[in-house]
Amino acid sequence: MSTSFFTYKGFPLVRRDDVIYYGNMSDEYVIMLQILQKKKVKDIEVASKIKVYQMSTDDKLNPTEAIKKTSEKESLYEALDLANAWLKRAVKS
C-alpha cells in the first residue's frame, strides 16, 4: 500500500503537533520546522515564530550532529520558502 503525502513545491510535508518535516527521507537532507509561537488571527491560530533546521537523514548521527543549518522565521510561508531553497540546493549537490 503506497502512502501519499501532501506536498509543497514537489517535496512532501508531514506534520505532527507543532513540528513539520519537509522533504524526502530517502534524500541526504530533510527540513524540520518547529513552531515556537502562535498568534490568533480572528478565530485561527497562525504560526508567528518558526525555527527551521536542515538535518542530515544519516541515522548514524546523533540529533545534534545531524543539524547542518538553522534559521528562524516569523511566518510559515517564509519558513517553507527557505526550506525549499535549502532542499533544492542539497538535491543539486
Q: Looking at residue 2, what is its pLDDT?
A: 57
CA nearest neighbour of 91 among 65, 57, 51, 52: 57
Strands 44-56 and 6-8: unpaired
Q: What is the mean pLDDT of each successive set of 10 residues along the chain, which is 93 residues long?
A: 79 95 94 97 95 95 94 96 95 79
- Residue range(s) defining the domain that contains residue 68: 6-92
Cα separation of 65 and 2, whole Å?
31
Asked if the structure places residue 66 within a domain, the reply is: yes
Asked if the structure places residue 33 within a domain, the reply is: yes
- What lies within 8 Å, CB to CB, of 28 at 6+ separation is 56, 57, 58, 90
Count: domains in the chain? 1
Q: Looking at residue 1, what is its pLDDT?
A: 43
Q: Looking at residue 7, what is its pLDDT?
A: 92
Q: Looking at residue 86, what is its pLDDT?
A: 96
Asked if the structure places residue 74 within a domain, the reply is: yes
List Cα–Cα distances, 65 to 14, 20, 33, 56, 68, in angstroms.
22, 20, 17, 8, 8
Asked if the structure places residue 15 within a domain, the reply is: yes
Instruction: Supply the pTM of this predicted model.
Output: 0.88
Asked if the structure places residue 1 within a domain, the reply is: no
Q: Running DSSP on this structure, what letter comes out for residue 85?
A: H
